[in-house]
Structure 1
Amino acid sequence: MFGAERTRTLLGPADPARNAAVGPPLVSARELIDRADATETVAGRRRVRPTRRLVLTAGTLAVAAGAVAVLQPFGGPAPDAPGGPGTAAGLVLVPVAYQFDADPPAAGPQLRMLADKIKDAAYDHQSGRYMYHHTKVWGDPVMTSADGRHHVAFAGASKVWQAADGTGSQINTQLEPQYPDQASRDYWQRNLDSRPAVEGTPAPAMIPLPPEELRPPSAVPAELRELLKVEYGAGAASKEVSTLYGRYVVPRATRAAVLRVLADVPGFRWRGQVTDRAGRNGVAVTFDDREHDQQSLLVFNPRTGELLAHELLTLSPVRISSYQVILDTAWTDRVG
């Protein structure tokens, strides 16, 4: 989640390279991590890496305290900004409530039924040069107190316009800090000086995207199984589904094929009707990876089969580890 612009905002005048130009990476840090996580194996088994954690003391983060106070979340001024409502910064994340919380049934039959009845999405009737995605993410990296108990990360929004040859533009916006529990929020509010230390967050810059080969996702089951890394299990498949929908405008036939492929992956449980973090109605499946104390959550649009959100939770105690919400997907000829 931390890029050059965000790091410079946190450092402010103390940044020794504040006047140096930094070009965009050929591949985002998140994508590099996702690729490594999905493909690396040890003794024939997939190695699951935890969410990146930055172990920091309150003093280490003092330089960032001013940035906490001037973030601009959706819908208005940051809570600590002049004129903002109150003095507390950031939200405490609550796990999505499941319709079937205890003893959920296997997801296969429900996923197949959903695949059989999905309808066209709005973008199925659009055309344009660029694939457009608006996403919101949280949890990579998570900043952790020295005792390992208290966590915080910044939410971030991305708007991406990308053509078939990989070129296009991207805008990244740092949003509010968010916490996996109230204790973490209380800790960071006590231990960080939240007085504004900088005048404001710079306006997001339009970043050009370099050329790369983009292959439209196939609806052929064998090819989809390979693309979604199902050989490594439901946890890997969940991550790859999130990557697929966060990058491509997935047509209806492929959306149905994705659901059928997931229906055959052992371990997914049906959670029924849910409401995602953007307030949208969806249906959800989860996979519990007890060995690594982690749960994967996928939320689908019940009418179109589109992926709305992907989340990772720790199981003991149950709390949010990371999330991606796909707020909008479209075809367009316009950038910005």
Structure 2
Amino acid sequence: MSDKEVVRAMLRQFDPARELHVDRSRISPGSLMPPASARATGERRRLLAAAAAIVVLGGGAAAVAVHGADEPPPGSQAVYEGDGFRYGPIIEPMAFAQGAQITLPLKAAAYESQQGQYNHIGIISWNAVFDDEPGGNATIIRPQERDTWFDAQWVRRVVVKQLPPVFPNEQSRRYYQRHPNAHPIATTAPEVDDFNPGDQPAAAGPMPTTAADIVERIAEQPDPADPRAIVSLIADMSSIYLLPVEARTALIDRLTKTAGAEWIGLTTDRAGRAGIGVKVQAKEVTEILVFEPATGVLLAWDEVDRAGIIQGATLFVKAERTERVE
């Protein structure tokens, strides 16, 4: 199945596009981008940014519930154009169920029983947010689908698909109707890159498989005691490795024992998957990870600023072993 079909299958009743009266084949994961609040002028980027919109309100964490993507922002009219819905769904906070945290030991992930020459990791990301003016009413978001296949020698294929742009509100959509040439992309065709053996990703190396490997990787961090370093390590590893259960267990165990990391309970990510969240509070941002409860596989990663504005979010939608490279 394509990434779009996989996301729609996972969304099930949570699908914010389910009531749209347009051809479903034209609705892309880009339509799932949550609205943004006021932003400073300029461009915002993060290496990995995607769709599990989680905000922090006061002392508690909150995920988001989707309420009718075909509902326009207040005072505006829903608009459907050539490639589908043009701005994100209407969302509101939904609290975590307090008290739950991942318990050890973890179970094996589905990919650990699969056979195949290639590891395949799929990510839906929103990693380019452009603001032409302050106030959040001239904002365009350019989402991507990114699939990576790699074998034991790091022979890799990376396919990046640019999705139709989305907007946080009707004002932004109208702004870019008036300025259609602002922030153009070079091509809408998929970008396919093939890499030779030894052309490893910048953060890669031999995949950590044991608790000792994880301890060594953590020790290599600039500040191993900083909980944000553990968060970044988990997110980075989940984007390039299919980690075995022993390595995931060591990461979860270390995260649980790290001062500043707080388990915040059960939630549902933007793909409708049940998960357990943990947050790490820093001066300017809150990092939130959502894990599959039984296996500790990372489902989502959010970065939220003090105003409750999402600075980056990542949805990990595929983790499998396969013989096919698409």
Superposition TM-score, scaled by structure 1 size: 0.63
1:115 match: secondary structure = coil
From 312, 317, 324, give the equivalent of 1:327.
317
1:279 match: secondary structure = coil
In structure 2, stretches of 5+ residues that fail to align are 1-39, 45-78
Separation in 2 of the partners of 1:309 and 1:301? 9
1:331 match: secondary structure = strand
1:225 match: secondary structure = helix
Q: What letter corresponds to residue 174 of structure 2 in structure 1? A: R
- Identity, in percent, stands at 23
Match of 1:47 in 2: none
From 169, 182, 195, give the equivalent of 1:209.
195
CA contact (8 A) 1:93 1:178 kept: no
2:104 match: secondary structure = helix
Offset at residue 128 of structure 1 (A): 2.2
Match of 2:131 in 1: 144
From 147, 166, 177, give the equivalent of 1:193.
177
CA contact (8 A) 1:158 1:171 kept: yes
Separation in 2 of the partners of 1:212 and 1:307? 25
CA contact (8 A) 1:53 1:141 kept: no
Separation in 2 of the partners of 1:231 and 1:52? 34
Match of 1:130 in 2: 118
Aligned positions of 1:236-251 closer than 5 A:
236-251=229-244
Match of 1:308 in 2: 299
Separation in 2 of the partners of 1:245 and 1:145? 33
Q: What letter corresponds to residue 312 of structure 2 in structure 1? A: S
Separation in 2 of the partners of 1:95 and 1:287? 22
Match of 1:20 in 2: none
Q: What letter corresponds to residue 130 of structure 2 in structure 1? A: M
Residues 227 and 308 of structure 1, relative CA distance in 2, 3 Å threshold: farther
1:135 match: secondary structure = strand
Offset at residue 195 of structure 1 (A): 10
Residues 244 and 94 of structure 1, relative CA distance in 2, 3 Å threshold: farther
CA contact (8 A) 1:94 1:320 kept: no
Separation in 1 of the partners of 2:239 and 2:92? 21
1:121 is aligned to 2:109: yes
CA contact (8 A) 1:115 1:257 kept: no
> In terms of Rg, which structure is larger?
1
State which drifts further: 224-233 or 151-160: 224-233
CA contact (8 A) 1:286 1:298 kept: yes
Separation in 2 of the partners of 1:256 and 1:187? 46
CA contact (8 A) 2:142 2:163 kept: yes
Residues 132 and 227 of structure 1, relative CA distance in 2, 3 Å threshold: farther
1:143 match: secondary structure = strand
Q: What letter corresponds to residue 141 of structure 1 in structure 2? A: A
Q: Which whole-Å deviations, capped at 9, do the CAs of 1:185-209 have from their partners, x for residues lacking one?
A: 23312212179999xx744143212
Aligned positions of 1:255-274 closer than 5 A:
255-274=248-267
State which drifts further: 149-158 or 319-328: 149-158
Match of 2:96 in 1: 99
Which structure has more helix as a fraction of its residues? 1
CA contact (8 A) 2:136 2:172 kept: no
Q: What letter corresponds to residue 255 of structure 1 in structure 2? A: R
Aligned length: 242
In structure 1, stretches of 5+ residues that fail to align are 1-50, 56-77
2:249 match: secondary structure = helix
Residues 169 and 304 of structure 1, relative CA distance in 2, 3 Å threshold: same
Offset at residue 332 of structure 1 (A): 1.7
Q: What letter corresponds to residue 208 of structure 1 in structure 2? A: D
Separation in 1 of the partners of 2:117 and 2:240? 14
Match of 2:87 in 1: 90
Superposition TM-score, scaled by structure 2 size: 0.65
CA contact (8 A) 2:303 2:311 kept: yes
1:127 match: secondary structure = coil
Q: What letter corresponds to residue 242 of structure 1 in structure 2? A: A
Q: What letter corresponds to residue 81 of structure 2 in structure 1? A: D
Q: What letter corresponds to residue 135 of structure 1 in structure 2? A: I
CA contact (8 A) 1:92 1:185 kept: no
Alignment RMSD: 3.2
Offset at residue 53 of structure 1 (A): 4.5
